[in-house]
Structure 1
Amino acid sequence: MMWSLFLILLYSWLFRCVNPEVPQVIDYLNGFHLDCYECHSNRPGCGKKLNWLLMRWKRCDMPGGAKCVKIIERTPDGETNYIRGCLREIEATRPEMPTVRENGCWTATDNYVGLGYNIYIPTTETIYCFCNERDGCLIVIKFSLLLL
């Protein structure tokens, strides 16, 4: 029994050296972290719909619990940008983020947008979606915007 646990941990550690984006057995023994997609919509596969086959996960950890973030913003020329990543890295570059960071989607002024269909959002508002339920959790949010 002890040898089998040792071999599982050893294999998990060795595999981690090869591919750190894949959660390993040892992760569940060391405590949980969250794997989030990290990309910008200027990359193929990282638009409104995320192509999870083209995107890599990034390990996220943060005191008090990690969260994945998806930002939906409109540029002055009318283009919609999607940015995905870990809360820790994104909040360092975006001081205007909402103070409310519960699971769901919020504007920078802390207005709850929700996760429903056909949500009307003014075109100037940037939307911040947060989640921490499971790895890659923002891929399944069914969210559509009616934009002017």
Structure 2
Amino acid sequence: MKMAKSNIYFSLVIFSTIFIQAQSYLLCYQCVSTHPGCGSPFKWLWYKTVSCPEEDDICVKVIEKIGAEERITRDCLSSLKGFRTDIPSDKYEGCRPSSVDLKLGNYVNNSISELDIKRNHYDSTTWCFCYFDHWCNSANLSTSSNLLIVLISIYFFVRNIDQ
């Protein structure tokens, strides 16, 4: 019986190592608050998670406010880099206001204010960055990581074997 038990422990260690290495990329939620359940409060069961394409990617939650209206965008930073010019240069964990691009829309004379050529349509834009945990761009509540889930399931699996 001891030999079978040590084989089970060994296979669980191998499985958890493979599982943790397979999860080397960060998982983030991807949605916009114009979709139901993506605003505040966030219904995390409704939305898929995406594996961020870059190895050192960051989960982002962008909060844009105009008056009482609030628009929240959740995604990977690499997905927003292509078209957003107001990304703050400080991308450490936490929230900070957007940066101002002084050259944006300088040579455009447009009378349609809804086009937001200069990105001044919103009263305030806040960028929240996180990269220490999977699915961290959900709400302000802390979420559990895959490693913790694996360790808890290993514990209960081994506990049921002993009985």
Q: Aligning the two structures, in what range does the TM-score lie when normalised by the shorter sequence?
A: 0.5 to 0.7
Give, in whole Å, the separation in 2 of the partners of 1:125 and 1:49.
Answer: 20
The change in CA–CA distance for 1:125 and 1:78 in structure 2 (over 3 A counts) is same
- Aligned residue for 1:43, secondary structure, equals coil
Select 1:34's aligned residue among 22, 26, 35. Answer: 26
Task: Answer yes or no: is 1:96 the counterpart of 2:95.
Answer: no
Structure 1 length-normalised TM: 0.63
Structure 2 unmatched runs, 5+: 1-6, 101-121, 142-163
**Number of matched pairs:** 110
Task: Answer yes or no: is 1:84 the counterpart of 2:74.
Answer: yes
CA deviation after TM superposition for structure 1 residue 78, in Å: 4.1
CA deviation after TM superposition for structure 1 residue 61, in Å: 3.5
1:92-117 superposed Cα distances (whole Å, 9 cap, x missing partner): 1201111110010011139xxxxxxx
Structure 2 length-normalised TM: 0.58
Note the 1:1-148 alignment, pairs <5 A. 26=18, 28-30=20-22, 32-63=24-55, 65-75=56-66, 78-109=68-99, 124-141=123-140
Give, in whole Å, the separation in 2 of the partners of 1:30 and 1:141.
Answer: 27
Kindly indicate whether structure 1 or structure 2 has the higher relative contact order, using CA contacts under 8 Å at least 6 residues apart.
2
The change in CA–CA distance for 1:140 and 1:25 in structure 2 (over 3 A counts) is farther
Higher helix share: 2
- Aligned residue for 1:138, secondary structure, equals coil
Structure 1 unmatched runs, 5+: 10-23, 111-122, 143-148
User: Which residue identity does 1:68 align to in structure 2?
Assistant: C
Q: What percentage of aligned pairs have identical amino acids?
A: 29
Q: Which residue of 2 aligns with 1:118?
A: none
Report the aligned-residue RMSD.
2.6
- Aligned residue for 2:137, secondary structure, equals helix
- Aligned residue for 1:126, secondary structure, equals strand
User: Which residue identity does 1:39 align to in structure 2?
Assistant: C
The change in CA–CA distance for 1:60 and 1:49 in structure 2 (over 3 A counts) is same
The change in CA–CA distance for 1:87 and 1:27 in structure 2 (over 3 A counts) is farther
4+ residue segments displaced more than 3 Å: 24-27
User: Which residue identity does 1:56 align to in structure 2?
Assistant: K
